[in-house]
Amino acid sequence: MHLSKYLIQGIPTSFNYRLPDLRGDITGGLVASALIIPAALSFGELSGLGPVAGLYGALAVGIFGALVGNTRGIISGVNANVSIIMALVVAEYTHSIAEALAAAILAGLIQIVFGFLRFGRYISYVPISLLNGFFMGVGLLLVITQFAPAMGVANVSGGVGGALLSLPFTVSRANVDAVLVTAVCFAVVILWRGPLKRIAPGQLMLLIAGILVGVFWLTDAPVVGQITVGVPDVQWPDFSVEFLLRAIQPAFLIAMLSSMGILIGSILVESVSGRQQQTNRLLVGHGIGNIAAGLIGGLPGGAANGTLANVYSGGRTLVSNLTVVAVVILTLFSGLSAVIALIPKAVLASILIITGISLIDWRLLRRLHRAPVGFSSVMVLTVFLVVFVDAMTGLIIGFAVGMFVNSRSLEAFEVPRLVSVPVLDREILGGDANVEDIFGARTGLVRFPDRVSVASAREIGRIVGHDIGTYQPLIFDFTRTEYVDDTAAVMMGKLINAAAASGTRDFVISGMRHDIAEKLKSLGFLDRVAPEHLMPDLDSAKRAVRPMLEADLANQIISQPA
């Protein structure tokens, strides 16, 4: 992976980029900008870094996400999920804004490692119940915590608990002008629908209407106030050992959330545009963007909330992403930046509340009582922890519980497909064999399921381990087994060794796939199995155990008293 190679590959050429593509990219970029600019200001305020930090983040992540990540319809910028975690980092995990920005840089480094290790496909394996619960929890957090700013009252400390406990105080101290600004914002969003949405996005009209009523009518509503806008200074962080110990956990979480958002966004964009995304390259590009954001005092991010608007408006290449970057630059370094100081804080709070409402999957919520118990349990637990503890705890515990639930489901699927039964002597010796006991069944058949994973390894090992000493001889049948994970391979190896150590080598293995055999050999679990005891199929295994059974029957006859 070379940066220069990435830049060259990402630039559309005259051979495959035409005027209709440019028109679609610019249109998509402008539509996305109308959503991203208000959101970036709101997310910057939410994070505790300030509104301008949201624009700096959109600028840095946008540039490197486009040029290095080669975004094909995805818009790089700031988003709600990363902003919530960044607010937690500012409030609890760092001692200063400089340290919070250093944590963002560390998150970018981790994200680059994800990309170089090609973790793109693996991060997307996070359970959907966990993601739904996290997004819903973040949505509720935004709605609850932004109620006070929407009422014109300073944000209270203590998270959701503090916001709920101070609700009477918030209502009693509400700023009438701020409340009216909030009402105007919600009225605009509710009324601006249908054909009007094709003219301009609702959030852009919300921002314009909020500024106008704040400047010309409701002038007592608290505003953002004077801000410093210009070419940002690069601030090099000081990574001390003590800081790294505090920051590594939240930085890792920022990297995970940013990466998951990018990968989910890439799936959505691929489904709409049909353009294949380079997921690992996207992770590297956004990781570099997050480092740059931290260096210039910007908010880290990932896939921005204008991505789908861009794709539906015709954006297909990194040009649409660079169009957004151009609009952000225009906002920062032109007379438009002076307008930011006039924005009522109630407008930014309204944008966050509306974003929070959109993050809640209301259709799923209405059907939650019909969902599988495991799915709904993980989702509800994650929502509760994200809202009432913190987002980090919700993700970690929700992920662990989700893995346990999925493992239990896999165990319920795999264990019943295990077969451990006796085989009639006549079946092994042949129909014409002179067998004294027609119901005699000394041979055991253990047929493993088509897949054996860590979820079922312990229970299967317990069942088969109990049966090993019961049969003489024994067939381990892998004919149907197509997949065995590492834990299951260790379990199977221990069963084979237990059979070999039980005082006899009268067992054979049938139908074992080459990849499973290689895995067991690499772990040393086939060292005690003679090559002639490895059979290609079950019929061969039956023929192989026939002399073993005949020898066992002969020994029984000899041992009987005359």
Residue 557 token pair: 């006859």
Q: Which whole-number Å values give the CA distances from 455 to 123, 405, 458, 490, 498, in the listed order?
A: 20, 10, 8, 13, 21
Confidence of residue 8 (pLDDT cuts 50, 70, 90): very low
- pLDDT score recorded for residue 505: 53
Q: In what order do the strands lie in the sheet with 419-423?
A: 419-423, 443-447, 474-477, 507-510, 534-535
The amino acid sitting at 496 is: I
Chain centre to alpha carbon of residue 329: 31
Are the C-beta atoms of residues 116 and 1 closer than 8 Å to each other?
yes
Higher-scoring residue by pLDDT: 534, 468: 534
- pLDDT score recorded for residue 432: 59
Strands (E), 114-270: none
Confidence of residue 433 (pLDDT cuts 50, 70, 90): low
Chain centre to alpha carbon of residue 343: 34
pLDDT score of 158 more than 70: no
- Distance in Å from the first CA to the final CA of the chain: 81
Residue 97 token pair: 């804004």
112-135: per-residue pLDDT in tens? 999 998 887 776 667 788 888 888
Average pLDDT score over residue span 295-310:
90
Average pLDDT, the chain: 84
**Residues 321, 326: Cα–Cα separation, whole Å:** 9
Are the C-beta atoms of residues 510 and 538 closer than 8 Å to each other?
yes
143-155: per-residue pLDDT in tens? 988 888 899 888 7
- With 0-12 / 13-18 / 19 or more C-beta atoms within 10 angstroms meaning exposed / middle / buried, residue 215 is middle
Q: What are phi and psi of 201, to 5 degrees?
A: -65, 150
Q: Which overall architecture, per CATH, does domain 418-557 show?
A: 2-Layer Sandwich (3.30)
Rounded to the nearest 10 degrees, the angle between the axes of helix 514-522 and helix 486-500 is 70
Question: CA neighbours within 13 Å on the CB side: how many for 449?
Answer: 23
Residue 441 token pair: 């069944």
Q: Where are the domains of the chain?
A: 33-406, 418-557
Confidence of residue 431 (pLDDT cuts 50, 70, 90): low
Q: What is the DSSP string of 176-217?
A: HHHHHHHHHHHHHHHHS-TTHHHHS-HHHHHHHHHHHHHHHT
Q: Which helix (H) or strand (E) holds 477?
A: strand 474-477
- With 0-12 / 13-18 / 19 or more C-beta atoms within 10 angstroms meaning exposed / middle / buried, residue 534 is middle
How much of the chain, in percent, has pLDDT values that exceed 90? 23
pLDDT score of 54 more than 90: yes
How much of the chain, in percent, has pLDDT values that exceed 70? 91
| Residue 515: strand, helix, or coil | helix
Residue 375 token pair: 């799915």
pLDDT score of 286 more than 80: yes
Q: Could you tell me which of 502, 501, 492 has the C-alpha nearest to residue 463?
A: 492
Per the listing, tokens 């009216």 go with: 180
Residues 6+ apart with CB under 8 A from 51: 40, 41, 42, 44, 45, 224, 227, 340, 343, 348
**Region of poorest pLDDT, from 18-22, 196-200, 395-399, 463-467:** 196-200
CB atoms within 10 A of CB 31: 25
Average pLDDT score over residue span 233-247:
83
- pLDDT score recorded for residue 558: 54
Which segments of 415-537 does DSSP mark as H helices, in order?
425-429, 454-468, 486-500, 514-522
Q: Which residues of 160-195 are buried (b: 16+ CB within 10 A; e: fewer)?
A: beebeebeeebeeebbebbbbbbebbeebbeebeee
Per the listing, tokens 């003679």 go with: 530
Residues 6+ apart with CB under 8 A from 7: 67, 68
**Residues 78, 33: Cα–Cα separation, whole Å:** 12
Residue 210 token pair: 């909020």
Model pTM? 0.76
Q: What is the DSSP string of 547-561?
A: HHHHHHHHHHHHHS-
Task: Output the CA angle 213-216-217, nearest 5 degrees.
Answer: 65
471-497: per-residue pLDDT in tens? 778 889 999 999 998 888 888 888 888
Average pLDDT score over residue span 83-109:
90
210-231: per-residue pLDDT in tens? 889 988 898 889 888 777 776 7
Residue 361 token pair: 């999957």
pLDDT score of 184 more than 90: yes
Chain centre to alpha carbon of residue 120: 10
- pLDDT score recorded for residue 12: 52
Are the C-beta atoms of residues 54 and 62 closer than 8 Å to each other?
no
